[in-house]
């Protein structure tokens, strides 16, 4: 602010500060404080129940990078994120295109499609566990009746079945988000563009690639970044479905953090994992922020 600001301008600036102050305070209490304390705790060897321990410097980090568990959890996290996100995007776009057509019961279908997204994860996982059950689950029943398999499959207890199942349930649960975002964008594409393309000689497939997809590009970038961040830190769905098993084959980083903090009671190590996770997600966040900024700029 320059000294040439008038009294009125200074009064407006003061009012602005007063109005954002409550938000800033809440933000500090629930974001900044936990963040700083997590980083702080990661330099200690802390016993969770008593929260007492000693300064160990960077040894939590060096140990973490040397143990195979961290790297396998990171690998699992990447497989889960890429797998489930790809399916969410493919099914999401396909379903949005279907719901954009003039089909019967369109508004009913649009509401129903949101169902998996709104249902509580605990409820969804319980239902899926029943479906997957190897004794009385309908999946095995249907597959056996169809003659595809001879014996019941263990969907959640063996690999790669468990990872595939988790990825599928994740895709089922979160693809409606993609549907809604893509559908909103589809509705704002001017009809004249499709008509111009028709007159220019473009068939349905050319119209999808030359009109629809380029128009969806911006929204897809945002969806992919957001969903990548959310899938990367997904905890409850995987934890409830497999608990990270069989052995540790579906254990992702958030599950590992939980295990260290509350099963092995090593809060310092858990904090170190959490900080590393945050550093990885920071990359996504920076890309996302730059992306949205450049959009506002243009």
Partner 1 sequence: MAEVVFSQVKKAFGTFTAVHGLDLHIKEGEFVSLLGPSGCGKTTTLRMLAGLEFPTSGDIQIGDRVVNDIPPGQRDIAMVFQSYALYPHMSVADNIAYPLKKRGVGRADRDIAVAKTAELLQLTELLKRKPRQLSGGQQQRVALGRALVRDPKVFLLDEPLSNLDAKLRGYMRVELVELHRRLGRTMVYVTHDQLEAMTMSDRIAVMEGGVLQQFAPPAEVYAAPANRFVASFIGTPGMTLMDGELSKQGGTWRFDAPGISMDVGALNDRAEPGGACLGVRPEHVSIGQGSINGTIQVVEKTGHENIVIIGLEGGQRLTGRVPAPQSWSIGENVQLSLDAEQAHIFGPGPHGPRLNLPSNIATPDLKSAAN
Binding site for partner 1 (CB under 8 A): 190, 192-193, 195-203, 206, 210-211, 214-215, 217
Measured at the CA of 143, the angle between CA 139 and CA 144, to 5 degrees, comes to 115
Q: Within 13 Å, how many C-alpha atoms sit on residue 20's CB side?
A: 7
- The least CB distance from residue 258 to partner 1, in Å, is 44
C-beta closer to partner 1: residue 9 or 195: 195
- The least CB distance from residue 192 to partner 1, in Å, is 4
CA–CA distance, 229 with 283 (Å, rounded to integer): 10
Tokens encoding 144: 């056996």
Which secondary structure element, helix H or strand E, spans residue 64, and what is its range? helix 59-66
C-beta closer to partner 1: residue 194 or 284: 194
Q: What is the DSSP letter of 149?
A: -
Q: Is residue 270 exposed (0-12), middle (13-18) or buried (19+ Cβ within 10 Å)?
A: buried
C-beta closer to partner 1: residue 211 or 241: 211
C-beta closer to partner 1: residue 41 or 216: 216
- The least CB distance from residue 218 to partner 1, in Å, is 10
C-beta closer to partner 1: residue 142 or 196: 196
The three-class DSSP label of residue 85 is helix
C-beta closer to partner 1: residue 206 or 263: 206
- Tell me the backbone φ, ψ of residue 76, rounded to 5 degrees: -60, -40
- Tell me the backbone φ, ψ of residue 268, rounded to 5 degrees: -65, -50
**Closest among 45, 179, 26 to 112, alpha carbons compared:** 179
Nearest-Å Rg of the Cα atoms of the chain is 24
- The least CB distance from residue 296 to partner 1, in Å, is 15
Q: Do you find a cis peptide bond into 133, omega within 30 degrees of 0?
A: no
- The least CB distance from residue 44 to partner 1, in Å, is 52
- The least CB distance from residue 186 to partner 1, in Å, is 15
C-beta closer to partner 1: residue 75 or 190: 190
- The least CB distance from residue 203 to partner 1, in Å, is 8
């Amino acid at each position: 602010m320059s000294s040439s600001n008038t009294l009125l301008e200074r009064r407006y600036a003061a009012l602005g500060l007063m109005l954002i102050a409550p938000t800033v305070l809440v933000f500090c209490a629930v974001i900044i404080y936990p963040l700083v304390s997590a980083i702080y705790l990661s330099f200690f060897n802390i016993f969770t129940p008593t929260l007492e321990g000693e300064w160990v410097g960077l040894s939590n980090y060096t140990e973490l990078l040397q143990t195979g568990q961290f790297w396998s959890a990171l690998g699992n996290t990447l497989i889960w994120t890429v797998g489930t996100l790809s399916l969410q995007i493919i099914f999401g776009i396909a379903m949005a295109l279907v719901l954009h057509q003039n089909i019967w019961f369109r508004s009913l279908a649009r509401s129903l499609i949101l169902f998996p997204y709104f249902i509580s994860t605990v409820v969804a996982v319980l239902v899926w566990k029943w479906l997957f059950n190897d004794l009385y689950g309908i999946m095995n029943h249907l597959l056996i009746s169809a003659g595809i398999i001879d014996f019941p499959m263990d969907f959640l207890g063996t690999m790669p079945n468990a990872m595939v199942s988790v990825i599928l349930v994740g895709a089922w649960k979160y693809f409606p988000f993609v549907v809604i975002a893509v559908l909103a964008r589809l509705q704002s594409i001017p009809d004249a563009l499709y008509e111009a393309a028709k007159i220019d000689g473009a068939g349905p497939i050319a119209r999808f690639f030359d009109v629809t997809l380029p128009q969806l590009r911006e929204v897809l970038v945002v969806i992919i970044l957001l969903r990548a961040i959310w899938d990367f830190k997904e905890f409850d769905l995987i934890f409830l479905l497999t608990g990270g098993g069989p052995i540790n084959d579906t254990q992702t980083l958030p599950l590992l953090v939980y295990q260290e903090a509350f099963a092995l009671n090593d809060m310092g190590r858990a904090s170190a994992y959490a900080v590393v996770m945050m550093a990885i997600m920071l990359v996504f966040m920076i890309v996302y922020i730059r992306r949205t900024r450049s959009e506002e700029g243009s």
